[in-house]
Amino acid sequence: MNIIDSVILGIVEGITEFLPISSTAHMILVSTLLGLQQTLQNIAFEIIIQLGATFAIVLIYLDKINFKEIELWKKVLLAFLPLMIIGFLLRHQVKEFFNLKIVALMFIIGGIVFFIVEKLYKEKEALKEIEKISYKQALIIGIFQVFALIPGTSRSGATIVGGMLSGLSRKTAADFSFLLAIPTMITVSGYEFTKNFSSFKDQNLIILATGFFVSFISCYIAVKWFLKFVKKYTLIPFGIYRIAMGIFILYLISKGVITP
C-alpha cells in the first residue's frame, strides 16, 4: 500500500462509514480493484482509519458529550450492548462472511428493505427529540445494529432503519445512530489498533496517518450533508444505489474482474 492508496481508501471510508451504504463493502471492493491483498496489516489499516471517521462524529456531536446528557448516554450504552455481546461470541464465525458475493447480496437486500420501510413509515407520528428516546427504543436500535456484523449490511443503515421502525424521525434516528457509533467504533478500532500497532513501521505509520486524516475530513463533510438530506428526503435514493451497486458487484464477479 502506498500514499495514493491510503488517500483513496481514506476518502472511501470517510464518505461511506456513516451513509447507509456499508463502508465495509466499499472498502473490500475498492481494495480489490486497487489490487491490495487482504493481509492482516491492510485489514488493520482499514479498521484503524475508522477512528478518523469516529473523531469526526465526536466533533459534530460535541455538544452532546457532557454530564448534562448522561441519561441519553445511558441509552446509547444500552444500545451498544447487543453488538458487544453477540460480536464477542461470534467473533470467529463473522470472518467467514467476508466475501464479495455476500456483500453484493446484502447490498441488494438492504436496498429492498429501505423501500419497504419507507412504504410503512409515518413521518408525522415520529419522535423528533433525541433526548426523549426511550430505553425500549434504544434497545431495539441496538438489536438492529447486530445485523451490521454481516458485511454489506451497513451499521448506520441498520440502526437508522431500527430507529425509524421504533418510531423515530429519520433525523433523530440518524443522530442516535451516529452517537451509538462512538462507543461501537472506538471499541472495535481501538482494539485493532492496540493489537496491530507494532506491525506499522515508520513508513507505514505515515500511510496510516494519511488515511486517518483523509477519513476524518471526508467523513465530517459527508455526515454534515447527510443530516441535512434526511430532514427533507427519504432513504429511497440510497436503496436504489444499494441495489444497483449489488448488481454491479455480481456482474464484476461473473466476468471474473473480481473474485468473491
3-state SS of the chain is CCHHHHHHHHHHHHHHCCCCCCHHHHHHHHHHHCCCCCCHHHHHHHHHCHHHHHHHHHHHCHHHCCHHHHHHHHHHHHHHHHHHHHHHHCCCCHHHHCCHHHHHHHHHHHHHHHHHHHHHCCHHHCECCHHHCCHHHHHHHHHHHHHHHCCCCCHHHHHHHHHHHCCECHHHHHHHHHHHHHHHHHHHHHHHHHHHHHHCCHHHHHHHHHHHHHHHHHHHHHHHHHHHHHHHCCCHHHHHHHHHHHHHHHHHHHCCCCCC
The mean per-residue pLDDT over the stretch 61-69 comes to 91
> Tens digits of per-residue pLDDT, 72-131?
999 999 999 999 999 888 877 776 777 889 989 999 999 999 999 999 998 888 999 999
pLDDT > 90? residue 146: yes
Tell me the longest C-alpha to C-alpha distance in the chain.
Answer: 56
Neighbours of 206 (CB within 10 A): 13
pLDDT > 60? residue 15: yes
> Tens digits of per-residue pLDDT, 170-179?
999 999 999 9
> Tens digits of per-residue pLDDT, 190-215?
777 777 666 665 557 788 899 999 99
Cell numbers found for residue 121: 413509515
How far apart CA 208 and CA 204 sit, in angstroms, is: 6
The mean per-residue pLDDT over the stretch 32-53 comes to 81
How far apart CA 158 and CA 202 sit, in angstroms, is: 38
User: In the block, which residue shows the cell 473523531?
Assistant: 55
How far apart CA 54 and CA 189 sit, in angstroms, is: 9
As a whole number of Å, the CA-based R_g of the chain is 18
- Report whether 52 contacts 216 (CB < 8 A): yes
Q: Would you state the pLDDT for residue 167?
A: 95
pLDDT > 80? residue 71: yes
Q: Would you state the pLDDT for residue 92?
A: 72
pTM over 0.85: yes
Per-domain boundaries in the chain: 3-254
- Residue 36: band (very low, low, confident or very high) from pLDDT cuts 50, 70, 90: confident
